[in-house]
């Protein structure tokens, strides 16, 4: 394989961004579809090339390709190289990102039809994909951080795509600022690493951690810092608040953010720097605990949300928690395998939600209902994705979720119970959405800029990507039934199930989790379809709990009223303001005032009297003469 | 007593100081202008004296003195013209009253 191929994977979406934003948008704005075609062509080619790279990586010794570096910066004798790191982890991410992105772009052709910002949308989407591809291929932390921030920027631009809506603008700011808190930790970790080791190169850092040069407290702090970055990007507790609000963007954007780009970056980062975590017990435990807690914490809020996209958002946070739990208790392969499967079914769920919104004009599941008959394709694919996320055998979610459950059972019993309860909750909230959206009778929908009041199946351009993703959501899990995916990731941990495809059903742990998922579905059926139990009555019976969940544990209020207003505005900002007004401005004004005062005093010398000046000249000449005579 | 270079120089210095004193102390602008002429002539004496005693075969000093006279004549013309102009606008030639250019 020529070395240019991996570069092209990154450069094609970047070129598409440049082409769409600098040529198509200004000069071909009357042909909006053109931008979409360019982006789809670029990402489609990148997708094909990604599969080529995977094939090459699969055949390469150690599942690793050597790509020559290019020198970027030379600062005295220290040089920063631009290089690509193509190993199995990168290869898997390349496939996930390009496939999901391609499906989303195709779907967007239908979803965004008629939007005045069509070219802008595709330009940002291209850039978003390019940044994520750069992030997964970067071989040093500086480069990675660059794309890390690039991904953050693009998510800001896309969440705030409809910036004329104040809620969208606020959500974009929130996403950007909240993740910034995590990025601070990541940046500190990079600087600490460089201070300690003098290198940014990821492979060298791996080597140093494995050799034990990088160890002890430093390693722990570095790992925690990196994890802080991942917590921000992957919306883990306590920085989870931005993701549900990120729903303000167009639905395909949410789909891309939740499946392949933004939030996957955090999990990927931990996986990429995994050797650093492995040698620090504290860091690894932190990852597992935060992940396990986030999984159940977010799932509990997902139980009561009435906005279909918000339910999905909390489910993403919860699933990301699972991935972190998998990384913390199992290893790269287990966490990444869930990311791989989750990307397809979560993308599909969001595309389904977008399709439903397109037809009913609302995201509120209380206003939907009965869509099973009018939107059979959407219903079928959404159902498959829901079964997959709920972990029903033999869909993909089952295989990766049970890997995580099994590994947490072996390592941390408390987290295992949390994960089990989460399985139940996941099944419940997903099927609550299904029964409310697709079951029963149509409850009217709402009017909006999209679609009419009369529900209808979405156009073919939207349905086809959903079908492709549904196929992937069924089969992607089969890659690791016996551990093939884990062997490819090549980190040595045990994964897969020795029992095989059918034998798994005799394994007790997967059986229990299946049972719990089944119970969740049954409860949802009882409450929202058969109405054996009234949902309102349950809500009333547990009023305080319901309010707690519905108000999202008051985290938004806590952050806004206490942290932002009290700590930041009244505390930190007031102190900084004082410093700025008194010390910085004082110094600047002091220089100005001093100069003015000196000038005021000295200008009296200018008397306007010619003879005074001549006198000064004469005295000066005499003084110089005397000086020369005495010292010359 | 033979007259040597130093006598010319002392004469010149005395004349120069008289001129400078006049420039610094007189109020009448015309008198100041005249004092400037005295200073110029003091310099001329120096130039001629040096020419005679240091390089007797060359005439550079004398030539230079003639240049100074020519320039002094022109300067006197310009100076008088300026003083007349000031007199027309301000009605006085008192140098102490010319203080428009102060702070």
Between residues 613 and 632 of chain A, which touch chain B (CB distance below 8 Å)? Answer: 614-615, 618
User: Which of B23, B32, B96 faces A609 most closely, judged by CB atoms?
Assistant: B96
Give percent above pLDDT 70 in chain A: 97
Report the pLDDT averaged over residues A340-362.
Answer: 86
pLDDT score, position A450: 47
Give, for A79, the enclosing helix (H) or strand (E). Answer: strand A78-82
| Mean predicted lDDT score pLDDT of chain A | 84
pTM over 0.80: no
Report the pLDDT averaged over residues A206-216.
Answer: 81
DSSP calls for A410-447: HH-HHHHHHHHHHHHHHHHHHHHHHHHHHSS-------
Question: Distance between CA A583 and CA A572 in Å, rounded?
Answer: 16
Report the pLDDT averaged over residues A148-158.
Answer: 89
Question: Distance between CA A35 and CA A22 in Å, rounded?
Answer: 11
pLDDT score, position A142: 86
Which one is predicted more confidently, A581 or A439?
Answer: A581
Q: Taking the domains of chain B in order of start, what are their residue ranges? A: 28-93
- Which residues of chain B make contact with A615, given a CB cutoff of 8 A? 24
- pLDDT exceeds 80 at position A303: yes
pLDDT score, position B72: 93
- pLDDT exceeds 70 at position A161: yes
Helices marked H in A138-237: 141-159, 166-197, 202-211, 216-233
User: Which of B24, B101, B102 faces A611 most closely, judged by CB atoms?
Assistant: B24
The pLDDT tens digits of the residues spanning A65-116 come to: 777 777 777 777 777 777 888 888 888 889 999 999 999 888 888 888 878 8
pLDDT score, position B78: 94
The pLDDT tens digits of the residues spanning B19-63 come to: 999 998 888 999 999 999 999 999 999 999 999 898 889 888 899
Give, for B80, the enclosing helix (H) or strand (E). Answer: helix B60-90
Question: Distance between CA A410 and CA A169 in Å, rounded?
Answer: 45
- Which residues of chain B make contact with A602, given a CB cutoff of 8 A? none
User: Which of A604, A610, A618 faces B98 most closely, judged by CB atoms?
Assistant: A610
User: Which of B100, B101, B103 faces A603 most closely, judged by CB atoms?
Assistant: B103
Smallest CA–CA distance, residue B57 to chain A, in Å, is 31
Sequence-distant (6+) residues with CB within 8 A of A468 are A103
- Which residues of chain B make contact with A612, given a CB cutoff of 8 A? none
How distant, in Å, are the alpha carbons of A118, A202, A579 from that of A583? 49, 42, 5
Question: Distance between CA A381 and CA A277 in Å, rounded?
Answer: 38
Report the pLDDT averaged over residues A45-55.
Answer: 90
pLDDT score, position A495: 66
The pLDDT tens digits of the residues spanning A402-451 come to: 888 888 888 888 888 888 888 888 998 888 888 888 877 777 665 544 44
For A120, the token pair is 């802008």
Question: Distance between CA A295 and CA A304 in Å, rounded?
Answer: 16
Across the interface, do B103 and A606 touch by the CB < 8 Å criterion?
yes
Nearest-Cα residue of chain A relative to residue B21: A615
Question: Distance between CA A409 and CA A254 in Å, rounded?
Answer: 33
Sequence-distant (6+) residues with CB within 8 A of A550 are A304, A305
Burial of A582: CB neighbours in 10 Å, binned 0-12, 13-18, 19+: exposed
The reply to whether ipTM tops 0.95 is no
Report the pLDDT averaged over residues A234-260.
Answer: 84
Helices marked H in A361-507: 371-374, 376-390, 396-411, 413-438, 460-475, 484-489, 500-503
Question: What region, left, alpha or beta, does residue B90 occupy, with left being phi > 0 and alpha being psi -120 to 50 degrees?
Answer: alpha
For B70-102, letters b (16+ CB in 10 Å) and e give: eebeeeeeebeeebeebeeeeeebebeebeeee
Give, for A87, the enclosing helix (H) or strand (E). Answer: strand A86-87
- Give the distance from CA A305 to its chain's centroid: 21
- Which residues of chain B make contact with A608, given a CB cutoff of 8 A? 98-103
B65, B48 Cβ separation under 8 angstroms: yes
Residue with tokens 């606020």: A170
- Which residues of chain B make contact with A607, given a CB cutoff of 8 A? 99, 102-103
- For helices A262-272 and A216-233, what crossing angle results, to 10°? 160
For A496, the token pair is 């897969």
Tally DSSP H helices, then E strands, for chain B.
Answer: 3, 0
- Which residues of chain B make contact with A610, given a CB cutoff of 8 A? 95, 98
Q: Give A496's pLDDT tier (boundaries 50, 70, 90).
A: low
pLDDT score, position B46: 93
A496, A378 Cβ separation under 8 angstroms: no
For A358-367, letters b (16+ CB in 10 Å) and e give: bbbbbbbbeb
- pLDDT exceeds 70 at position A493: no
Q: Give A628's pLDDT tier (boundaries 50, 70, 90).
A: very high
The pLDDT tens digits of the residues spanning A505-523 come to: 777 788 888 888 888 888 8
End-to-end Cα spacing for chain A = 81
Residue with tokens 């003083």: B83
B103: contact with A, CB 8 A cutoff: yes
SS3 content of chain A, % helix, strand, coil (to 5): 80, 5, 20
How distant, in Å, are the alpha carbons of A135, A150, A456 from that of A147? 5, 4, 40
A604: contact with B, CB 8 A cutoff: yes
Question: Distance between CA A222 and CA A341 in Å, rounded?
Answer: 29
Across the interface, do A611 and B103 touch by the CB < 8 Å criterion?
no
């Amino acid at each position: 394989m020529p070395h240019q191929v991996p570069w092209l994977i990154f450069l094609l979406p970047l070129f598409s961004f440049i082409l769409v934003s600098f040529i198509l948008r200004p000069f071909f704005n009357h042909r909006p579809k053109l931008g979409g075609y360019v982006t789809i062509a670029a990402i489609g080619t990148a997708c094909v090339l990604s599969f080529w790279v995977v094939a090459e990586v699969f055949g390469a010794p150690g599942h690793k390709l050597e790509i020559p570096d290019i020198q970027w910066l030379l600062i005295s004798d220290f040089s920063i190289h631009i290089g690509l790191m193509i190993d199995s982890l990168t290869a898997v991410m390349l496939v996930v990102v390009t496939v999901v992105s391609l499906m989303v772009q195709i779907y967007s052709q239908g979803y965004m039809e008629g939007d005045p910002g069509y070219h802008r949308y595709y330009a940002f989407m291209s850039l978003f994909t390019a940044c994520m591809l750069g992030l997964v291929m970067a071989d040093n932390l500086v480069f990675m951080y660059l794309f890390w921030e690039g991904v953050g920027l693009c998510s800001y631009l896309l969440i705030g795509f409809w910036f004329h809506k104040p809620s969208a603008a606020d959500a974009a700011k929130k996403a950007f600022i909240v993740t910034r808190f995590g990025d601070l930790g990541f940046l500190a970790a990079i600087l600490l690493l460089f201070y300690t080791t003098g290198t940014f190169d990821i492979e060298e850092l791996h080597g140093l951690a494995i050799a034990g040069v990088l160890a002890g407290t430093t390693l722990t702090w570095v790992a925690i810092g990196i994890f802080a970055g991942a917590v921000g990007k992957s919306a883990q507790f306590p920085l989870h608040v931005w993701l549900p609000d990120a729903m303000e963007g167009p639905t395909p954007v949410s789909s891309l953010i939740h499946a392949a780009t933004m939030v996957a970056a955090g999990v990927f980062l931990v996986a990429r720097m995994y050797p650093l975590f492995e040698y620090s017990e504290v860091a690894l435990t932190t990852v597992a605990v935060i992940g396990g807690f986030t999984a159940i914490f977010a799932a509990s809020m997902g139980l009561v949300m009435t906005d279909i996209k918000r339910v999905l958002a909390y489910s993403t946070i919860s699933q990301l928690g699972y991935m972190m739990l998998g990384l913390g208790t199992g290893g790269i392969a287990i966490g990444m395998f869930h990311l791989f499967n989750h990307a397809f079914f979560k993308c599909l769920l969001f595309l389904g939600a977008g399709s439903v919104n397109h037809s009913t004009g609302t995201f509120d599941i209380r206003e939907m209902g009965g869509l099973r008959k009018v939107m059979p394709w959407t219903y079928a694919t959404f159902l498959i994705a829901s079964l997959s996320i709920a972990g029903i055998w033999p869909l993909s979610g089952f295989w990766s979720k049970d890997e995580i459950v099994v590994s947490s059972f072996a390592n941390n019993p408390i987290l295992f119970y949390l994960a089990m309860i989460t399985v139940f909750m996941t099944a419940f909230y997903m099927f609550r959405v299904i029964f409310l959206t697709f079951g029963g009778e149509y409850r009217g929908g709402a009017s909006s800029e999209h679609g009419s009041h009369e529900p209808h199946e979405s156009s073919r351009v939207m349905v086809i990507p959903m079908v492709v993703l549904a196929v992937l959501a069924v089969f992607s899990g089969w890659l690791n039934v016996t551990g093939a995916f884990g062997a490819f990731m090549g980190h040595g941990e045990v994964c897969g199930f020795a029992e095989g495809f059918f034998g798994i059903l005799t394994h007790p742990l997967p059986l229990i989790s299946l049972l719990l998922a089944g119970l969740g579905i049954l409860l949802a059926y009882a409450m929202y379809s058969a109405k054996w139990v009234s949902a309102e009555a349950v809500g009333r019976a547990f009023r305080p709990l319901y309010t707690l969940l519905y108000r999202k544990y008051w985290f938004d209020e806590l952050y806004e009223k206490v942290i932002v207003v009290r700590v930041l505005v009244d505390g930190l900002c007031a102190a900084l303001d004082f410093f700025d007004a008194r010390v910085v401005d004082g110094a600047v004004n002091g220089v100005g005032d001093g100069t003015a005062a000196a000038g005021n005093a000295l200008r009296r010398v200018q008397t306007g009297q010619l003879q005074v000046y001549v006198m000064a000249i004469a005295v000066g000449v005499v003084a110089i003469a005397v000086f020369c005579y005495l010292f010359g | 007593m033979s007259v040597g270079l130093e006598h010319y120089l002392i004469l010149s210095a005395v004349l120069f100081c008289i001129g400078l004193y006049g420039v610094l102390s007189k109020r009448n602008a015309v008198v100041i202008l005249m004092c400037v002429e005295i200073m110029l002539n003091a310099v001329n004496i120096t130039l001629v004296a040096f020419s005679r005693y240091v390089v007797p075969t060359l005439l550079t000093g004398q030539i230079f003195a003639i240049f100074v006279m020519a320039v002094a004549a022109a300067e006197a013309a310009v100076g008088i013209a300026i003083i007349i102009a000031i007199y027309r606008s301000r009605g006085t030639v008192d140098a102490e009253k010319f203080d428009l250019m102060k702070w």
